[in-house]
Amino acid sequence: MKALNTLLGRQRWLADANMRVLAGPILIILILAMMVLPLPPFLLDLLFTFNIALAIMVLLVSMFTQKPLDFAAFPAVLLFTTLLRLSLNVASTRVVLLEGHQGGDAAGKVIEAFGQFLVGGNFAVGLAVFLILVIINFMVITKGAGRIAEVGARFTLDAMPGKQMAIDADLNAGLIGEEDARARRKEISQEADFYGSMDGASKFVRGDAVAGLVIMAVNIIGGLLIGMLQHDMGFGQAAQSYVLLTIGDGLVAQIPALMISVAAGVVVSRVNTEEDVGQQMLGQLFNSPRVMFLAAGLIGLLGLIPGMPNVVFLLFTVLLGALGWHLMKRGEQQQIERVERAPPPAAMEAPEASWDDVQLVDTLGMEVGHRLIPLVDSRQQGELLARIKSVRKKFAQEVGFLPPVVHIRDNLELPPNTYVLTLKGVEIGRGELYPGKWLAIDPGQVSGRLEGLPTQDPAFGLPAVWIETALREHAQVYGYTVVDPSTVAATHFNHLLRRNASDLLGRGEVQALLDKLDKQQVEELVPKVLALSSLQRILQSLLDEDVSIRDMRTILDTLAELAPQQSDLQELVAMVRVALGRAITQQWFAGLPELHVIGLEVGLEQVLTQAVGGSGALEPGLASTLMQQAETALARQESNGEPPVLVVPHKLRPLLSRFLRRRMPQLVVMSLAEIPDDRILRVTSLIGASN
């Protein structure tokens, strides 16, 4: 029985899915059929009523959406509603011209009601009302909505590269994940498609207005000719019958068209917020008691002028004044409630000193000036704490251990917009943030200049400008990477975490890593063969050169095999690097078919090998030349967009890494033994060549 119910439920679901798929084609076929097949007056009444109801629904949906993409189907809805109105006009034209001589209800009760009740049976008044509606729709609403959609599409497309770079910057800084980045890229693409579709779909409404004028002219001229020539009616009688029916037909189509045009204007002219249009209007128009009092005063002055409708003006004066008084009292009550909810101040006492007053140094700390407190205060919607948590999580996933918690405190001795990052109580970086502004970072290929406060990106030293929110879109169009203050601080924090990873790895972190591994594997190595402190120094040496320690099993297996015969920690580090060679290569050459690297000239390689085999020190002249040529080769490599990797013989790697990375921390020194055998190596820059 249960299986039968499941089967029946699945069949119903498939039937519903097929009906949804066929809904669009069936609707198009029915609309086209109305243009060809004659429709009785009762069916016309049903369809005209449905058209009005549909227009009201579309207008209400557009009012309650919070952002344009919430009604992404609007361009298609605009097309279908336009086709429906035009097909109804064709069907009603057929009925009006064929049956108009029989009386006002020949084309249905709806057309008769619009022709008689709305315009009082006067075809001159009806004609004027119809023309005014068409002009309002065509010249005001549709033209304005079309212009907004055109400009919105242009600016959306121009801003797409900057928005994509901002998403990439957040992804690289660990502020968002891959799924969030993919969703944001999809939203940007949908937004561009929406405004592009609206730019074209607005032409449907304008064409509908023109078609309404043409259909009205055809109906009037054709009706007069048919009435006078075929039914022997006088001019006045024919005009009274056919023109009134034509005006009713036009009004019953133009009023829904006007509502659809208003819906289009609402969708494209609204600003993305968490409120719909009604909430925005009420919250922003009727929010300030000062505005209400000033408006009441001006209306009251106008009401005192002789000849003005004094009662009406003074009535609105009273209403606006009462509303302002209500808003003022409500604001005062809210202020009193906030004060009452605030905790009472603690009594000031001078307790005796105790061991609780001894403050140990925080491993990681951040001190902020007083203007930056809102960024780290969750009660004021500060985002920096959440960003720092995301950075710590991404660091743990990529580097291989969890960094200490960041302790944040305010420091009134700092400049108001300054923050300082500390490691074990010592400053390792500082920067300036300006809440309410945006940092436009110049990646090197911008097409314009911005007005603002010149500065530098604190993480990478790139030239940047603090700009107002109004210039954000322009900055993205010019090619700047635009980020908010919280993102600036989080990116700086992430950069400093990577640079000081070895200092963050303490014995507690090493023990926590060992606790996650197989107990037997750990006990065979630590502490029987290798002390915990020695393992810590090996891991710190790897982190010093930006090598991830996520693969702890490979590290422990290599040490368990080699540590009993080798006591030199530097040699153990070198062998662990060889074991991790595939991961190190993947880190710098992910997805690349060839490894384009910096190499050593053969003669220089021999000289350095002799130096390592001898005293182990470099002659000053040789050291200076080596440093200069390495800087030149590194600059050439980076200008070509290649990874900053120098590959040298295994014996030379420790010496060159310690020597060259003092002045070039971004340089990566790998040994040939660390390169997998199945990867193709190509030297694109050479140190020691004559040119």
Residues 526, 652 share a domain? no
Q: What percent of the chain has pLDDT over 90?
A: 17
CATH of the domain at 646: 3.40.50.12790
Q: Which residues are CB-neighbours of 669 under 8 A, at least 6 positions away? A: 545, 645, 646, 648, 653, 656, 657, 660, 661
Helix or strand (DSSP H, E) at 464: strand 463-467
Q: What is the pLDDT of residue 496?
A: 92
Strands 438-441 and 463-467, by their bridges, are antiparallel
Looking at residue 485, its pLDDT comes to: 92
SS3 666: coil
Q: Are residues 266 and 205 in the same domain?
A: yes
Domain termination site, one of 579, 613, 637: 579
- CA 203, CA 229: separation in Å to the nearest integer? 38
Q: How many CA atoms lie within 13 A of 490 on its CB side?
A: 29
Report the range of poorest mean pLDDT among 37-51, 78-92, 156-170, 523-537: 156-170
* Mean pLDDT (whole number) for 473-490: 91
Length of the chain: 691
Query: Do residues 493 and 509 both lie within one domain?
Result: no
- Is the pLDDT at 114 greater than 70, yes or no? no
51 within some domain:
no
CATH number, domain at 407? 3.40.30.60
> How is residue 313 written in tokens?
């003006």
Is the predicted pLDDT of residue 691 greater than 60, yes or no? Answer: no
CATH of the domain at 525: 1.10.8.540
Q: What pLDDT digit, counting tens, does each position of 62-72 carry? A: 777 777 667 77
Least confident of 93-107, 175-189, 639-653, 676-690: 93-107
Q: Say yes or no to pLDDT of 472 above 70.
A: yes
Q: Which residue spans within 369-417 are E strands per DSSP? A: 406-410
Residue 191 belongs to some domain of the structure? no
Whether residue 315 is found in the same domain as residue 294: yes
What value does the mean pLDDT take over residues 656-682? 88
Burial zone of 362 (CB within 10 Å; 0-12 exposed, 13-18 middle, 19+ buried) = middle
Distance CA 643, CA 668 (A): 9
- 391 or 32, greater pLDDT: 391
Q: Are 620 and 611 in contact (CB under 8 A)?
A: no
pLDDT at 421 over 90: yes
- Crossing angle of the two packed helices 74-99 and 178-229, in degrees rounded to 10: 10
Mean pLDDT estimate for the chain: 79
Q: Which helix (H) or strand (E) holds 408?
A: strand 406-410
Which residues on adjacent β-strands are paired with residue 671?
648
pLDDT at 539 (0 to 100) = 92
Round to whole Å and give the CA distance between 82 and 257: 8
pLDDT at residue number 231: 72
Q: How far apart are CA 321 and CA 496, in angstroms?
A: 58
pLDDT digits (tens, 9 = 90+) for 131-156: 777 776 666 666 666 666 666 666 66
Q: For residue 81, give both structure tokens.
A: 């509603």
Identify the domain boundary among 500, 524, 542. 500
Residue in this structure with the two tokens 């922003």, named with its chain if needed = 284
CB 665 within 8 A of CB 608: no
Distance, CA of 138 to CA of 228 (rounded, Å): 33
Task: Report which of residues 433 and 253 the model is more confident about.
Answer: 433
Higher pLDDT, 621 or 264: 621
Q: CA-CA distances (angstroms) from residue 23 to 28, 30, 542? A: 9, 11, 63
Q: What are the pLDDT digits (tens) for 363-400?
A: 899 999 988 888 888 777 778 888 899 999 999 999 99
pLDDT at 4: 47
- Sorted by sequence, the CB contacts under 8 Å of residue 584 that are 6+ apart come out as 547, 577, 670, 674
Structure confidence by residue, pLDDT tens digits, 228-237: 777 767 776 7
- Helix H or strand E encompassing 331: helix 310-341
The number of distinct structural domains making up the chain is: 5
Rounded CA-CA distance 496/498 in Å is 5
Q: Report the candidate in 671, 654, 645 with the shortest Cα–Cα distance to residue 571.
A: 654
**Closest by CA position to 636, among listed 604, 599, 588:** 599
Q: Cα 577 to the chain's mean position, in Å?
A: 40
In degrees, to the nearest 5, what angle opens at C-alpha 561 toward C-alphas 560 and 563? 65
What is the full DSSP assignment across 556-575?
HHHHHHHTTT---HHHHHHH
| Residue range(s) defining the domain that contains residue 689 | 589-691
Do 104 and 240 belong to one domain?
A: yes
- Examine the domain organization and report whether 607 and 474 are in the same domain: no
Question: Does one domain contain both 247 and 297?
Answer: no
Q: Are the C-beta atoms of 244 and 116 separated by less than 8 Å?
A: yes
Cα separation of 269 and 263, whole Å?
Answer: 10
Is 352 a member of any domain? Answer: no
Of 270, 297, 325, the residue at which a domain comes to its end is 270
Query: Residue 1's beta-bridge partner residues?
Result: none
So what's the pLDDT on residue 429?
Answer: 93
Residue 260 has pLDDT above 90, yes or no: no
Note the pLDDT of residue 22: 60
Is 28 within the bounds of a domain?
Answer: no
Are both 438 and 488 inside the same structural domain?
yes
Provide the pLDDT for residue 246.
Answer: 73
Q: Which tens digit of pLDDT belongs to each residue from 488-544?
A: 999 999 999 999 999 999 888 888 888 888 787 787 788 888 888 888 999 999 999
Kindly report the pTM of this predicted structure: 0.54
Q: Is residue 351 part of a domain?
A: no
| Higher-scoring residue by pLDDT: 157, 427 | 427
> Residues 657, 678: one domain?
yes
Domain annotation covers residue 643 = yes
Indicate if 677 and 628 belong to the same structural domain: yes
Position 200 scores a pLDDT of: 66
Identify whether the C-beta of residue 102 lies closer than 8 Å to the C-beta of residue 230. no
Structural domain includes residue 205: yes
Tell me, what DSSP letter sits at residue 360? P
Could you give the CA distance from residue 637 to residue 629 in angstroms, rounded to a whole number? 12
CA 154 to CA 160: how far, in whole Å?
10
Considering the domain architecture, whether residues 307 and 403 belong to the same structural domain is answered as no
pLDDT above 70: percentage of residues in the chain: 75
* Whether 643 and 563 share a structural domain: no
Q: Per-residue pLDDT for 455 more than 90? A: yes
**Distance, CA of 70 to CA of 188 (rounded, Å):** 13
* Phi, psi angles (nearest 5°) of residue 623: -65, -45
- Residue 1: inside a domain, yes or no? no
Spatial distance between the Cα atoms of 95 and 56, rounded to a whole number of angstroms: 26
